[in-house]
């Protein structure tokens, strides 16, 4: 299994899907799906870190009916949310660790991953596994968060949480911005044997009904909720209140609109 994987369990997966899914992840899921063209049709497709299925649904709509999509995640409870709402004859589900992918060599034509690789501590090992299960000339398409300063909700949220807890409350894990340096990611891809690497900066605007809802999703829909419950459950309401106020001051309210920035990488084996 992955070293110290970030665990989404309990009430977190559903809150993640309901609050953060439309706000943070839907715009980029559409972007990834729209990058899939005819060269990716009639293929074996692997989705890594599918989470609650935001990208999975769009992939199914984009791929041909003869394509086979295998959607995987290391967190069973995240995948359970996805499986409840997404069903298709050409869709398979499996629990899988990105650093130990349970498939044979040279099998997949297309591998996609939305906001998952950045959370893996052993990125070199993960990329080696992705290359191993991909066919020659296969395509790897994934995104990660870009400059944290350009992601309003993230930069504000991390600052507010830090003011209560000090520093990174989950220091042993790779964080959401561990791959914000595009040149370092390109280097890792090259070392893993990928070529024709393309990095694209993608800006979106996340929209959510209110700052209060955004604060609730950011605190209770992410693994930080587990840390807070262990330390002091009363911190959840206190931090959410402080975060809602700060978000309102900086990003507005009813609705709240946050700038979002991601890197999208495309590479060929």
* 212 domain-assigned: yes
Determine the structural domain holding residue 138 and report its residue range. 12-268
| Residue 57, domain CATH | 3.40.50.150
Count other Cβ atoms within 10 Å, centred on residue 163: 12
* 3 domain-assigned: no
* 30 domain-assigned: yes
Q: What is the number of domains present in the chain? A: 1
* 2 domain-assigned: no
Question: Which of 269, 260, 268 lies closest to 201, judged by CA?
Answer: 260
Question: Alpha helix (H) ranges present in 134-254?
Answer: 152-165, 182-191, 211-220, 224-231, 234-251
* pLDDT by residue, tens only, the chain of 269 residues: 334 456 788 899 999 999 999 999 999 999 999 999 866 656 899 999 999 999 999 999 999 888 999 999 999 999 999 999 999 999 999 999 999 999 999 999 999 999 999 999 999 999 999 999 999 999 999 999 999 999 999 999 999 999 998 766 555 556 899 999 999 999 999 999 999 999 999 999 999 999 999 999 999 999 999 889 989 999 999 999 999 999 999 999 999 999 999 999 999 99
Tokens of 163: 């003011």
* 68 domain-assigned: yes
Could you give phi then psi for residue 104, rounded to 5 degrees?
-75, 165
* 7 domain-assigned: no
């Amino acid at each position: 299994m992955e070293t110290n994987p970030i665990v989404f369990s309990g009430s977190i997966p559903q809150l993640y899907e309901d609050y953060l899914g439309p706000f943070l992840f839907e715009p980029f899921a559409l972007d990834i799906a729209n990058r899939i063209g005819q060269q990716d049709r009639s293929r074996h497709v692997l989705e890594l870190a599918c989470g609650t299925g935001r990208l999975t649904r769009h992939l199914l709509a984009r791929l041909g009916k003869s394509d086979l999509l295998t959607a995987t995640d290391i967190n069973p409870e995240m995948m359970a949310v996805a499986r409840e709402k997404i069903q298709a004859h050409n869709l398979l589900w499996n629990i899988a660790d990105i650093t130990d992918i349970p498939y044979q060599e040279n099998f997949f034509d297309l591998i996609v991953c939305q906001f998952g690789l950045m959370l893996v501590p052993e990125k070199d090992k993960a990329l080696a596994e992705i290359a191993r299960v991909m066919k020659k000339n296969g395509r790897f398409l994934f995104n990660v968060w870009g400059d944290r300063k350009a992601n309003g909700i993230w930069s504000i949220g991390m600052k507010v949480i830090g003011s209560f807890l000090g520093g990174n409350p989950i220091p042993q894990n790779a964080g959401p911005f561990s791959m914000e340096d595009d040149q370092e990611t390109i280097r890792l891809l090259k070392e893993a044997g990928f070529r024709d690497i393309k990095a694209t900066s993608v800006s979106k605007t996340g929209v959510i009904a209110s700052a209060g809802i955004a604060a609730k999703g950011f605190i209770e829909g992410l693994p930080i909720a587990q840390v807070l419950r262990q330390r002091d459950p009363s911190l959840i309401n206190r931090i959410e209140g402080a975060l809602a106020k700060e978000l309102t001051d900086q990003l507005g309210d009813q609705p709240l609109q946050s700038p979002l920035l991601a890197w999208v990488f495309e590479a060929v084996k």
